[in-house]
């Protein structure tokens, strides 16, 4: 516990589960212990809402955090839009990860080859812009689709395995007409991010995603390396997004917390009293804390929550230490 932990705290708009837990705990990922939650509750807590007051008490000498007044019930009509005050707090700052929740990020070669494809634009143009019509093949239904193309390969720094390709997101298109069998489907470009070109692949836009998973340590010991930092830079600091070389097949899930480590360098210590100098390795230090918010089969995306030093591509990570 932090020595300055408040006895009572009123939740405000913009708070996150991580931020509130950091008011009480030196290690915010230990949030579940503070709430005395089981594993199912940890995965999707929907614990608290703006305006509620939290009380800190002690049960058998252990700290416990609870709502003032007990459980809150929210009744919503399906025809009424959910207000912000009626939405449970996100685990981490949503504005930092929203673009990564709504876009294709990682694709494999088979997935890429099987995806619908843009085959033509107006007036035989190759590069398309907002408002243009575009023609595609392979669309099975209407709605909003996202254009992308394969970027750089994501190679495991340990094994060299190709774990997929980073998807370069071009923009959004809305289906205008599916057409008859044997005809191309017609879309209209609604937004541009980078650029949309003939030959780009299409993926259906995901529904709005709200990350409300409390941080928790993996049940098994999972270790790996930082593969990439968003925007292609070599190092990351607090609140930057990065890719790790472990995913669903390794047991990684949304909400997992990992610690990034920095291996100590070697130093030469001069000998005394006629003794020879010796080379010593400095101890491994904690370099930061990662929160996983999107998981693919072979890789995952994580947000740097704490980083006393810079995190570099290739740095090892593992389950957090007590």
Check: CB of residue 174 under 8 Å from CB of residue 105.
no
For residue 128 the two structure tokens come to 């398309």
Bridge partners for 15 per DSSP: none
Residue positions counted in the chain: 322
Residues 170/200, Cβ–Cβ less than 8 Å: yes
Question: How far lies 64's CA from each of 5, 24, 172, 290, 300, in Å?
Answer: 12, 10, 46, 25, 32
Identify the helix (H) or strand (E) that includes residue 100.
helix 98-101
**What pLDDT is stored for residue 210 in this prediction?**
57
Question: So what's the pLDDT on residue 1?
Answer: 87
Q: Report residue 234 as tokens.
A: 């070599």
Residue 81 has pLDDT above 50, yes or no: no
Please tell me the distance from the alpha carbon of residue 255 to that of residue 308, in angstroms, as a whole number: 21
> Region 289-299: what's the mean pLDDT?
93
**CA–CA distance, 168 with 248 (Å, rounded to integer):** 22
Nearest CA to 118 out of 148, 141, 140 is that of 148
Number of H helices, E strands in the chain: 5, 22
Is the separation of the CB atoms in 170 and 197 below 8 Å? yes
> pLDDT per residue over 11-54, tens digit each?
888 888 888 888 998 888 887 777 776 555 555 555 678 888 98
C-alpha 221/C-alpha 217 separation (Å) is 9
Instruction: Tell me the pLDDT band of 222, cut-offs 50, 70 and 90.
Output: very high
Average confidence score pLDDT of the chain: 84
Token match 């928790």: residue?
216
Identify the three-state secondary structure at position 270.
Answer: coil
**Strand ranges in 156-307 using DSSP code E only, listed in sequence order:** 162-177, 185-192, 196-197, 201-204, 224-229, 235-236, 241-244, 257-262, 266-269, 278-281, 285-295, 300-306
The radius of gyration computed from the CA coordinates of the chain, to the nearest angstrom, equals: 24
Classify burial at 151, counting beta carbons within 10 Å of its beta carbon; exposed 0-12, middle 13-18, buried 19 or more: middle
Residue 87: pLDDT band with limits 50, 70, 90:
low
Query: 281 or 71: which carries more pLDDT confidence?
Result: 281
User: Positive or negative CA dihedral for 100, 242, 307, 309?
Assistant: negative
Is residue 73 pLDDT above 80, yes or no?
no
Considering Cα of 192, then 195, then 198, then 203, what sign does the dihedral take?
negative
| Interval 119-177: pLDDT, tens | 999 998 999 999 999 999 999 889 999 999 988 889 999 899 999 988 889 999 999 99
Tokens of 81: 């839009």
């Amino acid at each position: 516990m932090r020595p300055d932990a408040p006895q009572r705290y009123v939740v405000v708009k913009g708070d996150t589960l991580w931020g509130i837990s950091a008011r009480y705990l030196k290690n915010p990922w230990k949030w579940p212990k503070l709430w005395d939650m089981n594993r199912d509750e940890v995965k999707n807590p929907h614990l608290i809402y703006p305006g509620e007051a939290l009380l800190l008490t002690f049960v058998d000498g252990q700290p416990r955090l609870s709502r003032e007044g007990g459980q809150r019930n929210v009744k919503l009509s399906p025809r009424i839009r959910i207000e912000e005050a009626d939405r449970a707090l996100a685990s981490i700052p949503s504005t930092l990860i929203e673009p990564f929740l709504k876009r294709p990020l990682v694709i494999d070669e088979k997935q890429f080859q099987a995806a619908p494809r843009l085959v033509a634009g107006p007036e035989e143009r190759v590069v398309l812009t907002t408002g243009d019509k575009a023609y595609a093949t392979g669309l099975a239904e209407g709605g909003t689709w996202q254009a992308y193309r394969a970027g750089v390969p994501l190679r495991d720094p340990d094994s060299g395995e190709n774990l997929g390709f980073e998807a370069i997101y071009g923009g959004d298109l809305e289906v205008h007409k599916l057409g008859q069998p044997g005809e191309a489907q017609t879309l209209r470009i609604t937004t541009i991010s980078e650029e949309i070109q003939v030959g780009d692949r299409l993926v259906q836009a995901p529904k709005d995603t709200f990350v409300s998973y409390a941080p928790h340590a993996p049940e098994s010991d999972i270790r790996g390396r930082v593969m990439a930092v968003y925007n292609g830079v070599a190092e990351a600091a607090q609140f930057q997004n990065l890719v790790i070389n472990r995913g669903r097949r390794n047991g990684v899930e949304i909400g997992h917390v990992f610690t990034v480590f920095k291996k100590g360098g070697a130093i030469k210590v001069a000998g005394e009293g006629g003794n020879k100098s010796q080379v010593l390795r400095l101890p491994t230090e904690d370099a930061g804390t990662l929160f996983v918010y999107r998981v693919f089969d072979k890789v995952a995306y994580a947000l740097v929550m704490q980083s006393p030093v810079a995190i570099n591509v290739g740095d090892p990570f593992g389950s957090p230490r007590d």
